[in-house]
A and B are shown apart, each in its own frame.
Chain A
């Protein structure tokens, strides 16, 4: 099994597992069991008819926008846990919306990942996190701004609910139209650019990005094996140069650079790789 197939399998399994309430897709009733109070690692809308867990970004806003302010220890703790263990491997392996974008990108179309404003647009997700997820919900109570006005994952959930529940259809209005337009923009953009939502908008990716440098699941680059051919940077659709920044905040751990390396100089995995690198360095110092 090659890496691509394994990753595809994990993504599909994670998506199905996190949305295992299949009955909901036909009844339009969201699942309300005990597991719903647990956050899933990826961006998976609580209101998806299949969802058996809750979205960490939604939960975060839910706490921050509460009538009485309560620090969301539980959500923040889980985010730190997922971040410390996996970092943005969550994005590459477990996130259903990331999986959807990967699938969309597979559709043959005009592809362009490198363009000028890409670098600046990357900062947008930090603004989204700060403003839409933290500041606005805390200021205006009971309104999860990111979920309400932006999140395309929620739009998909809304569409699925509306498809089977007439009650939902009666109240679809301008806000829904706006969100469908936004979803369509992400889908069309996703045909051209790899994972545009993850790159520019996702507040969850922004949070996990901070952990990439310290997460247990990490990338190591062996200078002794590297021949500076640049194959890895060329293969990277998140526009990272793994030689310079193997643990970049933008890396979703897809491992396509590892496969592209002709000399096996890149390694992706839990701490094991780190030990190898250390011994490698010691040898160089000798």
Chain B
């Protein structure tokens, strides 16, 4: 009997390993609690961290949902940067392409791609690229200071607002591209028919550059 149970359990595990069921995203509507501050202790046990070439993902602590976005969804937001200056979606109109990068100060892959993103911004801002960094971990301000100064970040770094909830995947970094009219761009790198407006994971300078070039019309 015991052998039977153990075999069944092992079988179940193997089954779980083998299965790649395409369970569609169950949109359990929850708002991201920006006030929620867990101790940092458990934050980065990213045992499931995975990489594809230079792509890395970390499980985010934010309580968020994946939502399938209809292409052409208009991004509406209003928040402040670290100095209290207000930013909202009117900023999109002034730029050909806006890249919104959701990151957190405890996320290794996020921080490691930030100097590349800075370089990307420097190289393409004259062609109409705007980069916006967004983080929610307001309890780690001194770490944020360190990261921003070591990456020499010059693009706006904004505080998270629930306006961004629908662009969260549960993982950081997540990045979206927005066009001049405020539409989220479907980058088309769709996988198994999933929504491809939300880009999960960090990328190399080259990978970001090729995406930016494509939407800047070069």
Q: Which residues of A contact B (CB under 8 A)?
A: 8, 26-30, 32, 34, 36-39, 45-47, 53-55, 57-59, 61-63, 65-68, 70, 72, 74-75, 100, 103-104, 106-108, 141-144, 147-148, 151, 153-176
Contact = CB atoms under 8 A, between A and B. Distances in A.
B131 interface: no
Q: How large is the interface on B (under 10, 10 to 19, 20 to 34, 35 or more residues)?
A: 35 or more
Chain A binding surface SS class: helix
B42 A39 contact: yes
Given A58-B47, A143-B108, A107 B10 contact: yes
Residue of B25, B36, B107, B140 ringed by the most chain A CB atoms within 10 A:
B25
Interface of B: 2-3, 6-7, 9-10, 13, 16-17, 19-23, 25-26, 28, 36, 38-53, 55-57, 59, 61-63, 65-66, 105-108, 111-112, 140, 142-143, 146-147, 169-171, 189, 191-192, 194, 198, 200-201
Given A29-B28, A171-B52, A100 B13 contact: yes
Contacts of B53: 173-174
Contacts of A163: 16, 19-21, 23
11 contacts: A47-B46, A55-B42, A58-B46, A62-B106, A67-B143, A154-B46, A157-B48, A163-B23, A166-B22, A171-B55, A173-B51
Chain B binding surface SS class: loop
A168 B63 contact: no
Given A45-B45, A62-B42, A163-B16, A142 B111 contact: yes
Contacts of A54: 41-42, 45
Residue of B39, B63, B201 ringed by the most chain A CB atoms within 10 A:
B39
Contacts of B43: 46, 62
